[in-house]
Amino acid sequence: MRGLADGTVTALAILATVLVITPLVAIFGYLVYKGASSLNLAFFTQIPKPVGEVGGGMANAILGSGILLGMASALGVPVGIGGGIFLAEFGRGTKLANAIRFTADVLNGVPSIVMGLAAYSLIVVPQNHFSAFSGGVALGIMMIPTVCRTTEEMLLMVPHAVREAALGLGVPNWRSVLSITVKTASPGIITGCMLAFARVAGETAPLIFTALGNSFWSISPNEPIAALPLQIWVYALSPYDDWHRLAWAGALVLIILIVAAVSLVRFVASRGILKGAS
């Protein structure tokens, strides 16, 4: 009887795992099938060709996505981590902390297109032009709630004994929080940042009214800028087979770049951690 129960639960767990992994593998497999054939050097080095000309690439969109995500992270990561530290360490139990936590949860549920509209009305309209900056801000704000709440939860998981050890050495509280608690929780905090990063990396909606897209090279924060998701969206909706193929390739590249960026950060972060550390 016990063996039967054990076997059933194990089988259900395996089934659930398969169900989780299948869509991921299927999507990736389909992207490779549809997109890999259009991947060539030109895709990574050239900008889009005008309609009717064969070839061209998404180099400007890859660079543009990098710039947008850089700006988004520069805004979302420090603000999110700072907010998380406040929630877990300094503001615990205060009304302000409860208000921030509630706001972060609501912000997390706001549809991304609304975030784009907000950035449009707050930045694009007053400046009177679309810009990379406004797109970066829209994505950055979307990162804040995830980073903030993950940071809070990871900090709360740091054992009380570790905090006491630091206080017992005569280390001031703020120093103990920054150098001991945050450091101990850093693997989890980094994971939270990566989750937020990967999520906004594929966002299209907040960029439609902000970054707008651009068929040419542009690295200026004050100009409209190209982004991979936008480019994929435009190409996928177009009536041209050539553009459809490029859209598939773009989607494949987007996923590969996200995985590469996340792996790189994890690798760099893990080098700082010693043998035997949990």
Partner 1 sequence: MGVGIEVLNLNAWYGTNHTLQDINLNIPANHATALIGPSGCGKSTFVRCLNRMHETNPIARVTGTVRIGELDIYEDAKPVEIRRRVGMVFQRPNPFPTMSIYDNVAAGLKLNGYSNRRALDEIVEKSLKNSALWDEVKDDLKKKSGASLSGGQQQRLCIARALAVDPEVLLMDEPASALDPVSTSKIEDLIFQLKSQYTIVIVTHNMQQAARVAEKTGFFLNGRMVEFDSTHKIFTNPSDKRTEDYITGRFG
Q: Interface with partner 1 by CB under 8 A: which residues?
A: 159, 161-162, 164-172, 175-176, 179-180, 183-184, 186, 273-278
Among all chains, which residue has been given the structure tokens 């609501």? 106
Minimum separation from the CB atom of position 195 to partner 1 (A)? 21
Encoded amino acid at 57, one letter: G
Minimum separation from the CB atom of position 94 to partner 1 (A)? 11
Task: Tell me whether residue 129 or residue 175 sits nearer to partner 1 (CB atom).
Answer: 175
Task: Tell me whether residue 59 or residue 265 sits nearer to partner 1 (CB atom).
Answer: 265
Task: Tell me whether residue 153 or residue 223 sits nearer to partner 1 (CB atom).
Answer: 153
Torsions phi, psi of 110, nearest 5?
Answer: -70, 130
Among all chains, which residue has been given the structure tokens 């912000």? 107
Task: Tell me whether residue 6 or residue 164 sits nearer to partner 1 (CB atom).
Answer: 164
Rg over alpha carbons for the chain, rounded to the nearest Å, is 22
Minimum separation from the CB atom of position 1 to partner 1 (A)? 38
Minimum separation from the CB atom of position 267 to partner 1 (A)? 17
Task: Tell me whether residue 5 or residue 161 sits nearer to partner 1 (CB atom).
Answer: 161
Torsions phi, psi of 168, nearest 5?
Answer: -65, -20
Partnered with residue 56 across adjacent β-strands are 48
Minimum separation from the CB atom of position 90 to partner 1 (A)? 13
Encoded amino acid at 37, one letter: S
Integer Cα distance of 217 and 221 in angstroms:
12
Which structure tokens are listed for 244?
Answer: 């459809």
Decide if 126 contacts 210 (C-beta within 8 A).
Answer: no
Minimum separation from the CB atom of position 92 to partner 1 (A)? 9
- Give the angle 188-191-196 at the CA atoms, nearest 5°: 130
Partnered with residue 212 across adjacent β-strands are 225
Task: Tell me whether residue 138 or residue 155 sits nearer to partner 1 (CB atom).
Answer: 155
Decide if 181 contacts 89 (C-beta within 8 A).
Answer: yes
Decide if 100 contacts 166 (C-beta within 8 A).
Answer: no
